[in-house]
Amino acid sequence: MNPNTKEIIEIPLGIEAHRLAKQFAAEQDNPEKRKQVYLNTLAVYAVHRYLHWLQIETDFTKSDSWNPLLRCRWNVADLWLPTIGKLECRPVLPEEKVIELPEKVRKDRIAYLGIQFSEQLDYVQILGFKAAVEEAVSPKIISVYELRSLDRFIPYLERIAKKGVSATINVASWLQDEVDKIAQELSWIVLPTLTLSANWLGASETLEEIIREIQQRWGIELPSETINACKDYWVAGHHLRLYAITGKFPVSGIEEWSLLLILTSGDENDLPQGTQLQISDQREVLAAPELFPGRSDAYLFTYVVGRLDEIFQVTLRIMNDSLTLKPFAFEDE
């Protein structure tokens, strides 16, 4: 279940970890709730110990999972890092392949970590992490295959600590070479400059074909120079890949930027029925292409042009499940 390319850390669970887990679990009346609290406590303690080895400060007292009233009321496994923010340390039982996120933990988190337990609960493996700062609303389900390797975790925390969290996805910053690493830490992969005659491979080749078709069928005009990136998401248990093609038009009166979004299946199949790609500005929904029942399609797309001070909000939806991303902006400094 664990990709060999990922760094996975093993943490032993000693007497102190189990003492705290038993103490907190004993406060609960419901057997199912007792098990939940027990595992959550072990997961949080394991991450605390891991970060302690790395000399990263943690504070149990500001964590909901260590508050008797809050852990009784909610399914929380958070750990507070002073000056940085809250991590969510979600238990993963043996052979589980997805991590369900309760509603309470889908906000005010900087990252989610998958903590897989051994059968005997004598050790855990920290499988990896998912950055949580880029979406306005976090997903309900995370696949364990979606987790990023821990060798990217500390650089990610350092960035959050030093620069803080942006309120938008600033696509203009992708034009700067030094931003590539930051983009990748947030799971955005910056692709080669768009050249339709290029013989790209993999994701880029697929993107070239789709863009050519869109331009021929719909007459869409793209800036002469674009920056292109993609990111994988999970909605309603389905793997999706979102491409963002953006750039600034040559100066002619009011400066403008464009955003072409293309949503495909991350598994190279047709999109599931009920998929919708909605985009809006600060006033109204601008477009919401949707794959209705009875139709099959390899992608959905939407295209907008706005002034440099305009931002665009994007929501990915499959049936009754949805994921709203942080607004896209073009902050050209």
What are the pLDDT digits (tens) for 50-63?
999 999 999 998 89
Percentage of the chain lying above the pLDDT 70 cut: 85
What is the average per-residue pLDDT within 166-191? 64
The mean predicted confidence, pLDDT, of the chain is 84
| Average pLDDT over every residue of 20-35 | 96
Residue pLDDT, tens place only, 236-289: 888 899 999 998 887 666 788 999 999 998 776 789 989 999 999 877 899 999
Q: Which of the listed residues 136, 163, 190 is the one where a domain comes to its end?
A: 163
Domain termination site, one of 131, 163, 195: 163
130 and 213 both lie in a single domain: no
**For 65-90, what is the mean pLDDT?**
92
| Encoded tokens for 193 | 């400059």
Residue type, 330: F
Q: In angstroms, how far is the first alpha carbon of the chain from the final one?
A: 44
> Which tops the pLDDT comparison, 192 or 101?
101
Domain boundary among 96, 131, 163: 163
Q: What percent of the chain has pLDDT over 90?
A: 43
| Residues 259 and 146 placed together within one structural domain of the fold | no
**Residues 95-154 pLDDT 10s:** 899 999 998 888 778 899 999 999 899 999 999 999 886 565 567 889 998 899 998 898
pLDDT band at 24 (very low <50, low <70, confident <90, very high): very high
If asked whether residues 159 and 246 sit together in one domain, one would say no
Angle, CA of 146, 143 and 95, to the nearest 5°: 120
Contact predicate 289/300, CB 8 Å: yes
Confidence of residue 17 (pLDDT cuts 50, 70, 90): very high
pLDDT of residue 1: 40
Q: Are residues 64 and 121 in the same domain?
A: yes
Count of structural domains within the chain: 2
Residue 3 in any domain: the answer is: no
Side-chain half-sphere CA neighbours of 145 within 13 A = 11
Altogether, the residues listed in the chain come to a count of: 333
Please provide residue 22's backbone torsions phi and psi, each rounded to the nearest 5 degrees.
-65, -40
Q: How far apart are CA 54 and CA 56, in angstroms?
A: 6
Q: Are residues 120 and 196 in the same domain?
A: no
- Structural domain of 222: 169-329
Q: Determine the Cα–Cα distance for residues 241 and 139; give it in Å rounded to an integer.
A: 14
Residue 2 in any domain: the answer is no
E strand spans, the chain: 9-12, 78-81, 85-92, 98-100, 111-117, 123-131, 141-143, 169-170, 189-191, 227-235, 238-248, 256-265, 275-280, 285-287, 299-307, 313-318, 321-324, 328-329
User: Using an 8 Å Cβ cutoff, are 242 and 248 in contact?
Assistant: no
Q: Is residue 306 part of a domain?
A: yes
pLDDT at 175: 65
